[in-house]
Amino acid sequence: MTNFDDLKLAVEALSGGKNTVRLDDLGMPSVVVPFPRLNYADVLTGGAQIPLPAFVVDGQTKDVIHVSKYHNIIVNDRAYSLPFRDPGHSMNFDRALTVSRNKGAGWHLMTNALWAAIALWCRHNKTLPRGNNNYGQDIDAAHEKSVPSAARDTSNRITRTATGSGPAAWNHNWSEDGIADLNGNVWDWVAGMRLNDGEINIIVDGNAMKHNCNMSATSTEWRAIMPDGTLVNPGTAGTLKYTQTSVGFATVTTTPAATGGAALLHALGLLPPTGATAAELGNDHFWATLTGERLPIRGGGWNGAANAGVFALNLGYARSSVNTSIGFRAAFCE
């Protein structure tokens, strides 16, 4: 039995099978959380008994997606999910996408659709995770702290902290076996969604998980959304757009107002669930720049305070942006 076999058995035993270890093309391990398929009806009032977009690839439903338990680091030009490491940071969107795919077939940069599914699950189960959103501690629970992993700022305050070093309430299910650090620490690049001059563009369903999905700025795989939910070519007249630039996520709206497209926007975490209060969404914040191409980052950084959280969405960064407060995580789907 190899050391990696021992590691897999240990991780599964300690988590009661709720975490596991997956190896990449180099045989190197990442700790992942198997996240089962969700239907609209599971997390959205009045939702249909059909899978959320995150779990559909080329029309085929996926029963589980393996999510990196931790913010990833980069080793040998590949992404890895490992505990008690300084989170990877200072890479642009295309770099995060590349090092996720470099791990081999099935590996991809975590999609916006999957992030939204997890956020909706947290809301439904009343486990909105806390995290390092206030210089090493949580703004709403100052006694909850994590282990510093980077240099302090010019005011001698803690910045990044070691992956998974916070308490259980910093995981998506408030349990030690959950997905860590979805609130604060570093933002996460996510794939399959963008703004283009304010217009909402998406990759269909969970197709951003495909190894050959083209998410370049000029890709023809990007689709815009009509108010009735029909997907059309970007730039078509009357598609859904954002007008706000910086508001609480609970007050986000689109112009023109979505009708049939609302369910899709809810499922993608781009429009608050109908009737959701700010408190139910963690008082999380929304930012957008309505000019040029902007790629999403989610979750918030170490200084996001109450604005950070699993519903926090920032559409203000270009794909070329690099920042010490932006990281990423890979996921795996058969």
The DSSP line for 271-288 is SPPTT--TGGGTT-EEEE
Distance CA 299, CA 186 (A): 8
Amino acid 2: pLDDT: 61
Eight-class DSSP state of 240? -
List, in sequence order, every residue forming a beta bridge with 224; answer none if it has no partner.
Answer: 201, 232
Contact yes or no for 223/232 (Cβ under 8 A): yes
Of the listed ranges 78-92, 99-113, 188-202, 251-265, the one predicted with least confidence = 251-265
Contact yes or no for 276/250 (Cβ under 8 A): yes
Q: Decide: pTM greater than 0.75.
A: yes
Contact yes or no for 314/296 (Cβ under 8 A): yes
The closest alpha carbon to 195, from 297, 260, 291, 267, belongs to 291
**Domain ranges (residues) in the chain:** 1-334
Cα 316 to Cα 189, 271, 313, distances in angstroms: 12, 17, 9
pLDDT in tens, 230-272: 999 999 999 999 998 899 999 998 877 787 799 999 999 999 9
pLDDT in tens, 32-52: 999 999 999 999 999 999 999
The closest alpha carbon to 96, from 320, 334, 253, 290, belongs to 320
Amino acid 120: pLDDT: 98
Distance CA 334, CA 90 (A): 29
* Residues counted in the chain: 334
* Percent of the chain whose pLDDT exceeds 70: 99
When computed from its CA atoms, the radius of gyration of the chain, rounded to whole angstroms, is 18
The DSSP line for 192-248 is SEEEETTEEEE-STTGGGSTT---STT-TT-EEE-TTS-EE-TT-TT--EE--SEEE
Higher pLDDT, 245 or 218: 218
| 93 has pLDDT over 50 | yes
Contact yes or no for 109/88 (Cβ under 8 A): no
Cα 199 to Cα 94, 232, 274, distances in angstroms: 21, 12, 21
| 280 has pLDDT over 60 | yes
The closest alpha carbon to 228, from 250, 201, 203, 256, belongs to 256
Q: Which two tokens stand for residue 306?
A: 């109450």
Contact yes or no for 84/163 (Cβ under 8 A): yes
What is the pLDDT averaged over residues 175-196?
98
1-334: in CATH 1.20.120: no
* Percent of the chain whose pLDDT exceeds 90: 90
Element of type H or E holding 101: helix 93-101
List, in sequence order, every residue forming a beta bridge with 111; answer none if it has no partner.
Answer: 191
Amino acid 130: pLDDT: 98
Q: Is 283 exposed, middle or buried (0-12, 13-18, 19+ CB in 10 A)?
A: buried
Distance CA 134, CA 305 (A): 5
Of the listed ranges 10-19, 177-186, 244-253, the one predicted with least confidence = 10-19
